[in-house]
Chains A and B, each alone.
Chain A
Amino acid sequence: MGVGIEVTTLNAWYGTNHTLQDINLNIPANHATALIGPSGCGKSTFVRCLNRMHETNPIARVTGTVRIGDLDIYADAKPVEIRRRVGMVFQRPNPFPTMSIYDNVAAGLKLNGFRNHRALDEIVEKSLKNSALWDEVKDDLKKKSGASLSGGQQQRLCIARALAVDPEVLLMDEPASALDPVSTSKIEDLIFQLKSQYTIVIVTHNMQQAARVAEKTGFFLNGRMVEFDSTHKIFTNPSDKRTEDYITGRFG
């Protein structure tokens, strides 16, 4: 089941560049939350702070508190433990190119020492079904490389790979921006189904997409969170003038 995320005075830097400034935010459990904003506003950095991927860059720095469920992720746990609880899907599909479809999905478990083959078979099947890819790949699970699939299939493979480690939160950093409209709508359907089991945070450039999949939406601008509210309110009656300007297409 998903858990809520509580962010308090989060600040992040790349070198001397202060990319996130005093972010405070409560993301509800088992819902989809969209983050919108112009390029470079800090929304990708923000989601990377939620699974401590931000700090994999040697010049990056973070301060503040992030609680995921009852875990203070910067105080109580190691990055690897957090990343098993908080899955991530990236902008460009990034399957492991030398691995089969099966091994791609099983990678997170196998590389952490999971050796029960029968259980692994079941998890791979369940994850691929959850990511709506099972029917398309079930005949060549171990024969084909993950890289041989189409872009949209690869992205669903990456979602299956993230789901296989049974996370509580799923972060998606513009998961459909490199995909065609048909693949995009498949990913959106998937988010709709998955949010009953996981807390989903999705960064998107596409405002219609945010409106379609998310209950809550946050608007980021220049490293600050300008407004966070129900998606309906953000898109119909935003409280902040800058949000209104952005969603009506006056800038960004």
Chain B
Amino acid sequence: MTDSAATGLAVLSTLLVIAPLVAIFVYLVFKGGSSLSWAFFTQIPKPEGELGGGMANGIVGSCVLLAISSSIGIPIGIGGGIYLAEFGRGTRLANTVRFTADVLNGLPSIVMGMAIYSLLVYRQKHFSAFSGGVALGIMMIPTVCRTTEEMLLMVPNAVREAALALGVSNWRSVLSITVKTASPGIITGCMLAFARVAGETAPLIFTALGNSNWSINPNEAISALPLQIYYYALSPYDDLHRLAWAGALVLIILIVLAVSLVRYVASRGVLKGAS
């Protein structure tokens, strides 16, 4: 009786967790699905007043921004996590880094946008994909850093001892044994951070700005899906509203695709019975 009640409760909670995601997805398909066409993926936005056009530049722009942000956020985050878990345990510097990461994690994204605006954009005197990538990259660091730390701490000490007892140097043991053992969890952390910043709009308004033309130049203002969605949603035209819905749908699908692809690639090397 109590067993089935608990099971029922668990199932109910699971449904409640999944429900919003499914609801959002269905709504997006309903609102934006009809605007998805070949043109959406191949054309850039039409000048105001003309019908049609697409978000090809936004899709590519998001890819550029995420490439820049990942190449900043992931290495620094993983490096910091390794330091926290393996080398700096209990030191003052580690405690400071951990505290800073937690604060950074709670920082509103618009504040990040303003900070990068004053540090980079204002000095360079122009908006750029690079500054947008930096803003998103810094936002990725705390998530990547703290999950890397947590995942490394979950690796049993016996594994570290086994490596050291073979005469393997400490740094080698950390990189080749401990990090490798924790890598599935570390990858999940990176994907979480990636998915989170992929949908960020606020920090990009001050940095990447958006661009209605083609651009992949990191030194110029660049379009991004969330920005395009934001601008279209604010516009008074129904046509653009529909495109915004379609953009949101595409954004979600792209995130799911990217995460699945990374998971697939990461899981290919796993051996039978590996834990």
Q: State whether the Cβ of B263 lies closer than 8 Å to any Cβ in chain A.
A: no
Q: State whether the Cβ of A111 lies closer than 8 Å to any Cβ in chain B.
A: yes
- Judge whether B172 and A111 touch: CB under 8 Å: yes
Of the four ranges (under 10, 10 to 19, 20 to 34, 35 or more), the interface on chain B belongs to: 20 to 34
- The listed residue (A92, A97, A107, A111) touching B275 by CB distance below 8 A is A97
Q: State whether the Cβ of B49 lies closer than 8 Å to any Cβ in chain A.
A: no
* A129-160 interface code vs B (CB 8 A; 1 in, 0 out): 00000000000100111011100000000100
- Judge whether B164 and A145 touch: CB under 8 Å: no
- Judge whether B274 and A88 touch: CB under 8 Å: no
* B144-181 interface code vs A (CB 8 A; 1 in, 0 out): 00000000000010110111111111001100110011
- Judge whether A92 and B273 touch: CB under 8 Å: no
- Judge whether B275 and A94 touch: CB under 8 Å: no
Q: How far is the CA of A140 from the CA of B177 in the complex (A)?
A: 21
- Judge whether A97 and B165 touch: CB under 8 Å: no
- The listed residue (B172, B173, B180, B275) touching A147 by CB distance below 8 A is B275
- The listed residue (B162, B177, B270) touching A90 by CB distance below 8 A is B162
Contacts of A162 in B (CB 8 A): 165-166
Q: Is chain A's interface secondary structure helix, strand, loop, or mixed overall? A: mixed
- Judge whether B181 and A88 touch: CB under 8 Å: no
Q: How far is the CA of A82 from the CA of B173 in the complex (A)?
A: 16
Q: State whether the Cβ of B123 lies closer than 8 Å to any Cβ in chain A.
A: no
* B239-275 interface code vs A (CB 8 A; 1 in, 0 out): 0000000000000000000000000000000111111
Q: How far is the CB of B205 from chain A (nearest CB, A)?
A: 42
Residue of A whose beta carbon sits closest to that of B273: A148
Tell me the total A-B contact number using a CB cutoff of 8 A.
93
- The listed residue (A51, A81, A92) touching B165 by CB distance below 8 A is A51
Q: How far is the CA of A58 from the CA of B88 in the complex (A)?
A: 12
Q: How far is the CB of B270 from chain A (nearest CB, A)?
A: 8
- Judge whether B273 and A147 touch: CB under 8 Å: yes
- Judge whether A107 and B274 touch: CB under 8 Å: no
Q: State whether the Cβ of B183 lies closer than 8 Å to any Cβ in chain A.
A: yes
Query: Interface size of A by Cβ–Cβ distance < 8 Å?
Result: 36
Q: How far is the CA of A58 from the CA of B87 in the complex (A)?
A: 11
* A92-115 interface code vs B (CB 8 A; 1 in, 0 out): 101111111000000110011000
- Judge whether A108 and B167 touch: CB under 8 Å: yes
Q: How far is the CA of A90 from the CA of B157 in the complex (A)?
A: 12
- Judge whether B168 and A80 touch: CB under 8 Å: yes
- Judge whether A158 and B164 touch: CB under 8 Å: no
- Judge whether A112 and B168 touch: CB under 8 Å: yes
- Judge whether A144 and B272 touch: CB under 8 Å: yes
Contacts of A92 in B (CB 8 A): 158
Contacts of B169 in A (CB 8 A): 80
Task: Kindly identify, within residues 166 to 202 of chain B, every residue whose CB is under 8 Å from any CB belonging to chain A.
Answer: 166-169, 172-173, 176-177, 180-181, 183
Q: How far is the CB of A155 from chain B (nearest CB, A)?
A: 12
- Judge whether A165 and B167 touch: CB under 8 Å: yes
Q: State whether the Cβ of A216 lies closer than 8 Å to any Cβ in chain B.
A: no
- Judge whether B162 and A94 touch: CB under 8 Å: yes
- Judge whether A96 and B162 touch: CB under 8 Å: yes
- Judge whether A96 and B158 touch: CB under 8 Å: no
Q: How far is the CA of A165 from the CA of B162 in the complex (A)?
A: 13
Residue of A whose beta carbon sits closest to that of B156: A94
Given contacts A92-B158, A96-B162, whether A111 and B273 have CB atoms under 8 Å apart is: no
Contacts of B90 in A (CB 8 A): 58
Q: How far is the CA of A87 from the CA of B20 in the complex (A)?
A: 56
Q: How far is the CA of A149 from the CA of B165 in the complex (A)?
A: 21
- Judge whether B272 and A145 touch: CB under 8 Å: yes
Q: How far is the CA of A198 from the CA of B251 in the complex (A)?
A: 63
Chain A residues in contact with chain B, CB under 8 A? 51, 53, 56, 58, 80-85, 87-88, 90, 92, 94-100, 107-108, 111-112, 140, 143-145, 147-149, 158, 161-162, 165
* Subset of 10 A-B contacts with CB under 8 Å: A51-B165, A53-B161, A56-B161, A88-B165, A96-B159, A96-B163, A97-B274, A98-B180, A112-B168, A144-B271
Nearest 7 A/B pairs, CB to CB: A148-B273, A84-B167, A145-B274, A108-B166, A83-B167, A94-B158, A88-B165
Given A108-B168, A147-B275, 10 more contacts at CB 8 Å?
A56-B161, A97-B181, A98-B181, A98-B271, A108-B166, A108-B167, A144-B273, A145-B275, A148-B274, A149-B273
